[in-house]
Every structure is written in structure tokens, then in C-alpha cells.
Structure 1
Amino acid sequence: MARNCAGACFQIDLGEFELRILYCSQNYCPHDHRFLTALNGTEHEIFWLRLEQDRRTQEARPLPEGIKEVSWREPATRTGWLDYIGLKKKFAAVLEEVQPDVVHAGPIQRVALLPALAGFHPLLSMSWGFDMLEDADRGPLWRAATQYVLDCSDWFAADCHTVRRKAQTFGFPPERMTIFPWGVDHEIFQPKDRGFMRRQVGYEEDLLIVHTRSWEPRYGVDVMLEGFWQAIQQQPNLRMFMLGGGSQEKQVKGFVKDKGLEERVLFCGYKENESLAQYYRAADVYLSASHVDGSSVALMEAMSCGCPALVSDIPSNLEWVHDGREGWVFKDGSSKSLADRIVEIARNRREVPERGAAAQLKAEQDADWGRNFGKLLQTYQKLAPQ
């Protein structure tokens, strides 16, 4: 099948392709790379449009070969609400050139708003968790944008039931939703050589905690550090690997220095998947103090490596971690509750392997990226013009 496009740059023979998908995202992050890599391996032709280009590189790997990047606006690091007046016209021009069968867009208010404003159908709006659980409640304008996008969407994708329930409060019908945790690659994230990695790292007399969340307010990094420091006052044999970075880097490193934790908190930087899995295998416990989350990929990665989780008791975390089974939970926002659980775990380390085995089993059953990605492809087929 050949299609005529308004722009010569898109006049391509599509005989080998089944559907033409326009994948729209806010930036280019590891999650985008994973989606685009998987989509690149399908029979579909994939175009990618990014809304913004952050000053901080979130994903260093190049765009997968075969993905067609759409150049549509001057690079921008931020997009204000008034910018959408002009962007609506630019996006409409993209639709004329690409002529997609399906537009797949998210986050909701920032990105899916573009095809909604342009009146495109079929539109698959995909939540990134924080957009529905945090941004939708930031104020009247954000709530109105959320409602508008959902009203214009033909289908809604969520990574957990917590997000599904939030979408239903906006009146979106559950029969037009696909729920799929983004999942992990079990070939990379698996518990093999877990004991060996622990011995290689050392600190075998200590409880070793790994933290991989971005250093951003929504992920409760301040609560995590304060709880860790309080726990050390009672249980000195604690260490933590902190991976990644973020906008709170100055505060994080200042806290560690001020509290004299340089020998107890080790900053490890950003790691690619293969290296990241080794940190999960070496650690006794994965820690997240997030205030807002969907189905956290980092949580699923840790669990898949047999690393039990210590997480805040927000609803989405509780879909993955039952207290005393796949790990432990503490009261969201409470550094004291976190400290108490850390001390409890350190004093009962014999329970860690059992919790880790249960965590790995849960991830194996529910967090398989290959199987879950298939649900997205099925959704495309449902939406595609017949």
C-alpha cells in the first residue's frame, strides 16, 4: 500500500508496513528509548515527535535505527500554555505530512494535548503516572487540560490500576482502557550470581541499600536521606548506593556531607541496564520514598533481580509490594517510619532472602516487558481504521 503525503520527505512506499504510528513524547528518556526500540521491531512504520529538549541529557543512546524523527519546531526546553496556540497549527501540519493511522501520545496534559487540540482520531493517550496522579491536581487549568484530553481520546493506556481509577474519576470508560505495567527485560534483570555480586561489593557485615530514583521532590529524596540518617543512629552497619541524579543534587550532597555520611552513602552516577542490574543483585534492599508513582520500572527491575523492596505506602506501590511478602512498606512522607523499618530489616536480615524470592516471583509473573508490550500492539490494532 502506498500513501501520498503532503510533504515530499514523507513520500515513502508503505507496502511492507502494516500501520503508520506517530509516537509523541515530552522528551527523550530511557522509557522512550525502550518503547521506540520495541516498536522498531514490529511491522509498523514508526514516527517520533518530541515536545521539548531538556538541558540535561536523560538518554544518551541514539534513536533506534529505523525510527523516523519528525522535525517540527525549534528546540525548546520548556513549553508554556500559551505556546500551544501556535503549536496546534504546527502539529496539524505534521499530521498532514505523516498521515498516521494512530497517534500514541503522553504525558496527558503536555503531549496528548497536541493531537487533542488538532482533533485527530484515533488517539491513544498514555499516562506516565505522574501526569494523572500529580499534575491533574495542580490547579484548575491542569484539571481542565486533563479532562479535555481524556474527552478527546479514543483509548487510554495506564501502567497500574491506581492510574486507571484516577482516569475513571474524569469519566473515562473502563472498557476503553488498556492496563499494562511497562515491565522489564528478564534477560537482563534476573537474580543470577546475586550472592557473588554481594561478595564482590563487600560490606558483607552491613545492610546494603540501593536507591535509583531521580533526585526530584516527587520521589521523596529528602525523606529517604533523613530516614537513613535516623536509622544509622540506632543501627550503624548500614550503607547505601545512590544512583542517578536530578535537580536536588546540591541538597542531596549537602545533606550527606553535613551529616558525615560520606562513608555510608556512595554516589554511583547513571548506569546502563546491564550495570544497573549488578547493583540490584549486590544490594540487600531496594528503597523508594516516592510520593507519586505509577508502576515504577525501577521497582520492577529491582524485584526482578531478587532484591526485596522497601517502599512508601502509596497505592501504586502496594500493587507490587505486600508488607512482609515482597518487601516492606513505610508511611509515605515519614522519615521516622522509614527509619524504624530500616532498623527492623537490619536486625532481621535472615528474612531478606525469602522476601527477595517472593519479589522475583511477582516480577516474573506481572512485569514481563515482552508480554506486556504485546497489549500495546493489540490496542493499536483495535484503533486502526479498518
Structure 2
Amino acid sequence: MSSWRVCIIGAGDNVHVQRWVHGLAARGLQMSVISTTPAPAPAYAVPLLSIPTARAGMTPAARLATLLRGWARVPALVRTLHPDLVHLHALPLPAATLFLRRVPRLIISAWGSDVVQRDARKARLYPALLAHASAVTATSHYLAQVTAGYLRRPRPIEVVPFGVDLHRFTPAPQAPATLRIGTLRHLEPNYGIDVLLDALPAVLRALPLERCVIAGDGSLRDMLQLRAVALGVNTVLVWPGRVPHPAVPDLLRGLSLFVNPSRAEAFGVAALEAQACGLPVVATRVGGLPEVVRDGITGVLVPPGDPQALAAALIELLRDPARRATLGQAARAWVAERYDWQHSLDQMLAVYRQALER
């Protein structure tokens, strides 16, 4: 195994791409990276190449030029790295599939919006790329089903989740003395932060909530902050902005419970990290979240887009510290049983082994 050479193609500035590279390198694989975003070289102690990719607002001519300077060069870049396997994290823009089909021994991992946000060009071009792949993985059973919808012929799609490092994500020595809730999401429409804000007035009328942390950043930040003022809940809110991944465990350990009010969610790694810290999770019943949050056992599931149901679930748990403790203990055990990062690495190595044998 130590002689395997694997090239990962993906967003090099993404913490989960970095975790896969570092985790697989620690298992003895010789890793390299072709990054589709500007990636800080110190984040990697492996060969790192970058390609430009199209962004919103580009003219058609600029998009074509970027495609030719970027994805069109990938087959040649791969040849310079001499990998045994190439692992694509997240399906690319449809035009790039024409070049990736020239890459041998390709593993494809669907991540979420890459396949969930379906359009006519993806429906036309993704099937051939998925058929070309030596193996296909997805982070959840929900996402595997969505990805299977692109296949012209059935084939196995292995579910390999983003695991949690249980040595870093650990429970606090004791629960906070005051009631604190929080979430850690991109401030974008899919993640339902507006629903959480709409639920807060009822929560504040029912009990003495000391703090609600809304960590993350995004295009809706200003609008959400104005909404909080209009609702009269801004006095309990803390907006720390984007939180570096190494600082996430400390943020979570300062909470009484975690809120995941998404309208859409392919997997739910934030909910898993919270559960690893011994927190019960109140989440919406969408996408992959019912797979990672066990309703009534490690948390509570509510309908998406329903602030009344969200408020009721929050109030019930915040009023019952004994139940929060029971759910939190079960949550930690659940993550250890099913979503330990080392187990995720084992699963991915098994995918690699099978692909090489085929």
C-alpha cells in the first residue's frame, strides 16, 4: 500500500480536501494535489499544482479561455505526476468532463451541490464521466441515490462519509452554566439561518437563553443581521464570522446544543462534529441529515422552514438538562460507532484497492 501514488483533484483551500490528503499520506500513500482553487502551499507537504476555473460573471469567451487554461490541461498534469489513481472530489462544471474522461484510473466522489443542483448540461454530460470512473463514492446514502440518478447503467456507489477526528472533537468537561445554542453554517439560503432567527422570539419568551452563536459567513450576513434587529433578538446573538476548522471544537464545547436548520443538506458534517462534542442536535429532516442525527436518540428532527416547530424543539430540550445530557452521550457514542475519521480512511482505502484490482 505504501507504494500507491494518488493524485487528488479538488478545491485545495477546502478543509475536507486537506483532511483527505493528510489522512491518506499518514497511512503511507504518496499524495499529490491538483487544486481548482488558490490553495496555500503550507497547507500541503505534497506536490501541489493549481488550475484556473471559471467563476460567476465571466463572459462566454473568458469562460472558454479559462477552461482551456485549466481543465484542458489536467490530463497532461496528471501524466507529470505518475499516479496509480486519480481522485476527483466533487464533480466539475459539465464542460470539464470531456477532459476528465481522458484521465485513467479515476475515482469520483460526489460532494453535494455538484449533483443535487441538477441541470440539463449535467444530465447530458455527467453520465459518461461516471461510467468512465473506476469507482464512484458519495458522502451519504441520500447523496448516493441522487448520484445514481445520473447513471445510464446501474453501478455500485460506495458511501464514504466525511468522518470526525474523535481526538480533537471531544465533549466539554462540564456543560455551560447558562443556556447557549449555536450553529456553524455558510450564511446562504440553503442553510436556513433565517428560520433560526424567526424561532428565537418564542425561545426567548419561554426561557432565559443567554447566547445564540451564528458562526460562518456568506452573502446573507448583512440581511440576517438586519432581520435579527427587526425581530428584537440581536441582543443574544454572537456573529464570530468564519471560524477556522482548528477552532471549531472549542466553539462547540461552549454550547448547550447545536442547531442545524438547513433547507437542503447533502450530508451534515457540522452536525456530526457537534455530536462528537457530546451535543444534542436539533436539525431539519432533509437530505442526509436523518442519517447522521438519530431522531429522539442523538437529537431531534423537525420539518424544514418551520420556525414554530424549531422553537418548540429548542424549548423542550433547553428546559430539560437531563435529556440533553442523555442525548449528548448517545450522540458521542453514535459518531464513534459510525463516523470515526479513521474508519472513513479505511473505507476509502478499500475503494482504492478494489479500483486497482479491477
Please confirm whether the aligned pair reaches a TM-score higher than 0.5, indicating the same fold: yes
User: Displacement of 1:234 after TM fit?
Assistant: 4.2
SS at match of 2:181: strand
Distance 1:111 1:41, change over 3 A: farther
Q: 1:43 aligns with which of 9, 28, 39?
A: 28
> 149-158 or 359-368: which moved more?
149-158
In structure 1, C-alpha distance between the alignment counterparts of 2:310 and 2:332, rounded to whole Å: 23
Task: Tell me which amino acid in the other structure corresponds to 2:86.
Answer: V
1:26 corresponding residue in structure 2:
11
Answering whether residue 267 of structure 2 is matched by residue 295 of structure 1, we say yes
In structure 1, C-alpha distance between the alignment counterparts of 2:120 and 2:14, rounded to whole Å: 28
1:154 corresponding residue in structure 2:
134
Q: TM-score, normalized by length of structure 1?
A: 0.82
In structure 2, C-alpha distance between the alignment counterparts of 1:71 and 1:282, rounded to whole Å: 38
SS at match of 1:124: strand
Answering whether residue 102 of structure 2 is matched by residue 119 of structure 1, we say yes
Asked if the contact 1:25–1:111 (Cα under 8 Å) also holds between the matched residues in 2, the reply is: no
2:37 corresponding residue in structure 1:
52
Answering whether residue 222 of structure 2 is matched by residue 250 of structure 1, we say yes
Asked if the contact 2:318–2:324 (Cα under 8 Å) also holds between the matched residues in 1, the reply is: no
Asked if the contact 2:37–2:51 (Cα under 8 Å) also holds between the matched residues in 1, the reply is: no
SS at match of 2:239: strand
Q: 1:239 aligns with which of 211, 227, 232?
A: 211
Answering whether residue 140 of structure 2 is matched by residue 168 of structure 1, we say no
Distance 1:52 1:175, change over 3 A: same
Task: Tell me which amino acid in the other structure corresponds to 2:325.
Answer: P
User: Displacement of 1:142 after TM fit?
Assistant: 2.9
Asked if the contact 1:102–1:122 (Cα under 8 Å) also holds between the matched residues in 2, the reply is: yes
Distance 1:191 1:115, change over 3 A: farther
In structure 1, C-alpha distance between the alignment counterparts of 2:72 and 2:214, rounded to whole Å: 44
Asked if the contact 1:103–1:115 (Cα under 8 Å) also holds between the matched residues in 2, the reply is: no
In structure 1, C-alpha distance between the alignment counterparts of 2:191 and 2:111, rounded to whole Å: 14
User: Displacement of 1:34 after TM fit?
Assistant: 1.1
Task: Tell me which amino acid in the other structure corresponds to 1:50.
Answer: S
Deviations 1:139-179 (A, max 9, x none): 21233233333222221111111111222233377763321
In structure 2, C-alpha distance between the alignment counterparts of 1:293 and 1:173, rounded to whole Å: 26
User: Displacement of 1:274 after TM fit?
Assistant: 4.8
Distance 1:115 1:306, change over 3 A: farther
In structure 2, C-alpha distance between the alignment counterparts of 1:268 and 1:105, rounded to whole Å: 32
Q: 1:219 aligns with which of 165, 185, 191?
A: 191
2:344 corresponding residue in structure 1:
372
1:184 corresponding residue in structure 2:
164
Answering whether residue 89 of structure 2 is matched by residue 109 of structure 1, we say no
Distance 1:25 1:307, change over 3 A: same
User: Displacement of 1:25 after TM fit?
Assistant: 0.6
User: Displacement of 1:268 after TM fit?
Assistant: 2.3
In structure 1, C-alpha distance between the alignment counterparts of 2:98 and 2:7, rounded to whole Å: 10
> 98-107 or 253-262: which moved more?
253-262
In structure 2, C-alpha distance between the alignment counterparts of 1:229 and 1:112, rounded to whole Å: 47
Task: Tell me which amino acid in the other structure corresponds to 2:84.
Answer: D
Within 5 Å, give how 1:345-364 maps onto structure 2. Answer: 345-364=317-336
Asked if the contact 2:279–2:331 (Cα under 8 Å) also holds between the matched residues in 1, the reply is: yes
In structure 2, C-alpha distance between the alignment counterparts of 1:250 and 1:275, rounded to whole Å: 24
User: Displacement of 1:352 after TM fit?
Assistant: 0.9
State, as a whole percentage, how many aligned pairs show the same letter.
20
Asked if the contact 1:188–1:273 (Cα under 8 Å) also holds between the matched residues in 2, the reply is: no
* Structure 2: runs of 5+ lacking an equivalent: none
In structure 1, C-alpha distance between the alignment counterparts of 2:221 and 2:275, rounded to whole Å: 26
Task: Tell me which amino acid in the other structure corresponds to 2:90.
Answer: P
User: Displacement of 1:27 after TM fit?
Assistant: 4.6
Q: 2:281 aligns with which of 309, 314, 318?
A: 309
Distance 1:356 1:385, change over 3 A: closer
Q: 2:77 aligns with which of 86, 90, 94?
A: 94
User: Displacement of 1:368 after TM fit?
Assistant: 0.3
Distance 1:284 1:217, change over 3 A: same
Distance 1:102 1:61, change over 3 A: closer
2:44 corresponding residue in structure 1:
64
Distance 1:27 1:46, change over 3 A: closer
User: Displacement of 1:189 after TM fit?
Assistant: 0.7
Task: Tell me which amino acid in the other structure corresponds to 1:62.
Answer: P
Deviations 1:17-48 (A, max 9, x none): 61221101135111122112112223322121
Task: Tell me which amino acid in the other structure corresponds to 2:173.
Answer: D
User: Displacement of 1:254 after TM fit?
Assistant: 1.9
Q: TM-score, normalized by length of structure 2?
A: 0.88
In structure 1, C-alpha distance between the alignment counterparts of 2:5 and 2:12, rounded to whole Å: 21
User: Displacement of 1:85 after TM fit?
Assistant: 5.4
Asked if the contact 2:94–2:126 (Cα under 8 Å) also holds between the matched residues in 1, the reply is: no
User: Displacement of 1:284 after TM fit?
Assistant: 1.3
